[in-house]
Amino acid sequence: MSSTEYIGYPNPYAAEPMPTDRMIDLCKRHTLYTWSATDAVAPLPIARAEGVYLWTPEGQRILDFNSQLMSVLIGHAHPKVMAAMKRQIDELIFVYPQTATQVRARLGQLLAEITPGDINTFFFTLGGAEANENAVKAARLYTGRQKILASYRSYHGGTNLTMGLTGDPRRWANEPASPGIVHYMDPWPYEHSFGRTEEEITANHLKYLEETIVMEGAHTIAALFRETVTGTNGVLAPPKGWLKGVRALCDKYGILLVCDEVMAGMGRTGKMYAFEHDDVIPDMVTLAKGLTSSYFPLGAVGLRDKVADHFRKNVFWGGLTYNSHPVGLATAEAVLRVMLDEGMIENAARLGRVMRAEMDRLQAKHPSVAEGRNVGLFGMIDVRKNAKNEPLAPFNGSHPAMNALAKFFKDNGLFTFVRWASFTCNPPLMITEEQLREGFAIIDRGLELTDAAFEG
Ligand SMILES: Cc1ncc(COP(=O)(O)O)c(C=O)c1O
């Protein structure tokens, strides 16, 4: 950039914001966008956000039906959290990780209190990928083994190691990633098509998993990773009894069970942790997103006593400049208090039933709806092209009607993710029933576009 061009640029502290098209142009010219070729990106211009709504600079109101990246769980701009963040900035904005601070003491204790079982110790990171990276490190150091099992229908982060853990197509371009990762097929929809009962699916799949463990050499496997409820790759809760069976297999072979609750945790499913639905305690749980409702970058690994105790005597070979950042910790503390004080998890459980009813209504009305799935306010709708339930868009592909649906949502003030033949329904947990139905009313109208592509 020439200096004359630079002089022409607006002062970032000027009272007047720059025009929207100039803002978009500068964002695209000087910054890269994630998972995209930048020229293909049409960034959504946003000026402000509050509660369940976002506003464009031109004043269009948008209902946030995906909590941004499934992460703004308490809604946008909660005044109590913003005030707590400001208080922490005034009190102590940063100190290095080898310090003791009031907020670190308080949040550690709070997390230990709200986390089931003997998960009492937490290692803080800046996000979900780093939480998973450090869980892998902890598992390898604790067990002295190298291999990690992870599922195909998964996303665990964008770093080199977590791209390797990830099963979905984002992994492909990043291979070869870290060695020693073995992928297993998920219990469903893999087993779904054989017309088996849920109990049979669980039993068959556990047999397959045990065989995988034995064939890989159980003594070489440090950990098995699992998104407790698979997120981006389908909002798939495990079949009944499956997670308990996995817990038993891990115990049998001395493998650590790691539940990635970066997306499913912190109340999204109507319980604080998704693993509470299955009455299982993992050896480690990884968190991010909802932990601060994305108001500040923060992730965490929660460790059971036996794993944490190991690192009281042995070095934990991991560190980050921003480990236990006071502002991140103060944000998480305020977010958790607000979530608990305002009954948001109960709201997610209650409105999950409304979501279920709305999904059933849409499925009955629209031939192109294959299925709606949800656990609490964690939801996804699949769109089909024919009565044989073939997806309207193929795996890792698109279809003009799905693109038209995405455009319809955008034009009609609904923010959500449309991917392949599915779209998500993941609003903030404090959404009201009326606002939830407002979202489904827009979806209802949009589905006429995919109905038109239904082949019968
Ligand atoms: C299940 C899961 N794990 C890990 C991550 C990575 O988290 P982050 O983007 O904060 O690194 C994500 C992000 O979407 C996720 O959904």
State residue 228's pLDDT score.
98
State residue 190's pLDDT score.
60
Q: How far apart are CA 56 and CA 105, in angstroms?
A: 39
User: Please, is 253 exposed, middle or buried when counting C-beta atoms within 10 Å of its C-beta (0-12, 13-18, 19+)?
Assistant: middle
Q: Which atom of ligand 1 is nearest to the CA of 288?
A: 10
For residue 200, list its beta bridge partners.
Answer: none
CB 385 less than 6 A from any atom of ligand 1: no
State residue 177's pLDDT score.
86
Residue-wise DSSP of 291-336: GTTTSS--EEEEEEHHHHHHHHHS------TTTT-HHHHHHHHHHH
- Whole-model pTM? 0.96
Nearest CA to ligand 1 atom 8: 128
CA distances from 262 to 113, 287, 292, 332, 384 (A): 19, 4, 11, 14, 29
CB 297 less than 6 A from any atom of ligand 1: no
CB 288 less than 6 A from any atom of ligand 1: yes
Q: How far apart are CA 299 and CA 290, in angstroms?
A: 9
Of 289, 294, 298, the residue with max ligand 1 atoms within 8 A of its CB, to mutate for a pocket test, comes to 289
Of 134, 161, 263, the residue with max ligand 1 atoms within 8 A of its CB, to mutate for a pocket test, comes to 263
CB 128 less than 6 A from any atom of ligand 1: yes
State residue 381's pLDDT score.
97
Count the alpha carbons within 13 Å of 220 in the hemisphere toward its beta carbon: 12
Q: How far is the CA of 128 from the centre of ligand 1 (A)?
A: 5
Which secondary structure element, helix H or strand E, spans residue 209, and what is its range? helix 198-216
Per-residue pLDDT of the chain (456 residues), as tens digits, is: 444 455 455 565 666 789 999 999 999 999 999 999 999 999 999 999 999 999 999 999 999 999 999 999 999 999 999 999 999 999 999 999 999 999 999 999 999 999 999 999 999 999 999 999 999 999 999 999 999 999 999 999 999 999 999 999 999 999 998 899 999 999 987 656 567 889 999 999 999 999 999 999 999 999 999 999 999 999 999 999 999 999 999 999 999 999 999 999 999 999 999 999 999 999 999 999 999 999 999 999 999 999 999 999 999 999 999 999 999 999 999 999 999 999 999 999 999 999 999 999 999 999 999 999 999 999 999 999 999 999 999 999 999 999 999 999 999 999 999 999 999 999 999 999 999 999 999 999 999 999 999 999
List of E strands, 115-213:
119-125, 147-151, 181-184
CB 226 less than 6 A from any atom of ligand 1: no
List of E strands, 217-283:
221-227, 256-260
Q: How far is the CA of 345 from the centre of ligand 1 (A)?
A: 21
Q: Which atom of ligand 1 is nearest to the CA of 299?
A: 10
Pairing type for strands 256-260 and 221-227 reads parallel
Q: How far is the CA of 239 from the centre of ligand 1 (A)?
A: 23
Q: Which atom of ligand 1 is nearest to the CA of 128?
A: 7
Of 35, 155, 186, 380, the residue with max ligand 1 atoms within 8 A of its CB, to mutate for a pocket test, comes to 155
State residue 352's pLDDT score.
98
State residue 189's pLDDT score.
72
Which among 449, 128, 192, 141 is positioned nearest to 318, based on CA atoms? 141
CA 15 to chain centroid, in Å, comes to 36
DSSP-assigned letter for residue 276:
G
